[in-house]
Every structure is written in structure tokens, then in C-alpha cells.
């Protein structure tokens, strides 16, 4: 039986799947940052909803990646968690193949 990590490694050997996976990474980083920030505040989706006026169902959609948030919405969420939204552009890292 394969572990999830092993399955992912095997699946990403498919160039088309690897490309699609890579294209989703910016959205997944936003989702992960949102979840991590909320959890760091020991806050439930329901509590975040109450603080921001954003429906809990919408927060759930943001966190499961089915809704793409605007910067304005992310700012509202950050304020609800008493946090600052910071957007950064960083150089890409190149992975050198092992020979």
C-alpha cells in the first residue's frame, strides 16, 4: 500500500499532471496561509465569520479552494484576525536535477 506522499511522488512523474499541480500552487499557498493564520488565532470559521461579516460557508469555500478571494476580501479577513495582509513577490527557486 502506498502512502499519500509516495502516491503524490509517483503521480507527479506524469508531465501533464506535474504542470497542472504546479499551476495550482499559488492558490494553494493562499489557502494554506489563510488556514494557518486562522488556526494560529485559535479561531473557528464561525468565529472568523462573526468578526468579518463574511458567511461561514464563504470562508469554508475559500479554505477548500473553491472560491478565489480578492485582495479586498483577504484584507477584510486579515483585519478580522487582527493581522496585516502582506503580499510578496519572491524569486523562483530552481531545482537542480541530481545526476
When pLDDT is cut at 50, 70 and 90, the band that residue 1 belongs to is: confident
Looking at the structure of the chain, the number of domains it has is 1
Instruction: Compute the half-sphere exposure of residue 15: CA atoms within 13 Å on the CB side of its CA.
Output: 0
With 80 as the cut, is the pLDDT of residue 85 above it? yes
pLDDT of residue 78: 97
Residue 97 reports pLDDT greater than 70: no
What is the DSSP secondary structure assignment for residue 66, as one 8-state letter? S
| 6-10, 29-33, 76-80, 92-96, range with the lowest pLDDT | 92-96
Check: CB of residue 67 under 8 Å from CB of residue 58.
Answer: yes
What range does the domain containing 87 cover?
15-99
Judge whether 32 lies within some domain.
yes
42-68 pLDDT, tens digit per residue, is 999 999 999 999 999 999 999 999 999
Q: Can you give the CATH number for the domain in which 35 is found?
A: 1.10.260.40
Long-range contacts of 67-71 (CB under 8 A, 24+ apart): 68/27, 69/30, 69/34
Rounded Cα distance, 78 and 86, in Å: 10
Element (H, E) at 56: helix 56-63
Query: Has residue 91 been placed in a domain?
Result: yes
Amino acid at each position: 500500500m502506498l502512502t499519500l506522499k509516495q502516491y503524490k511522488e509517483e503521480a507527479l512523474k506524469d508531465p501533464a499532471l506535474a504542470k497542472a499541480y504546479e499551476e495550482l500552487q499559488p492558490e494553494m499557498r493562499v489557502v494554506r496561509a489563510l488556514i494557518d493564520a486562522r488556526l494560529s488565532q485559535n479561531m473557528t470559521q464561525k468565529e472568523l465569520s462573526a468578526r468579518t461579516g463574511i458567511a461561514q460557508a464563504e470562508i469554508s469555500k475559500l479554505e477548500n479552494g473553491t472560491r478565489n478571494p480578492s485582495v479586498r476580501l483577504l484584507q477584510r479577513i486579515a483585519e478580522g484576525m487582527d493581522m496585516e495582509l502582506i503580499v510578496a513577490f519572491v524569486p523562483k527557486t530552481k531545482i537542480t536535477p541530481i545526476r
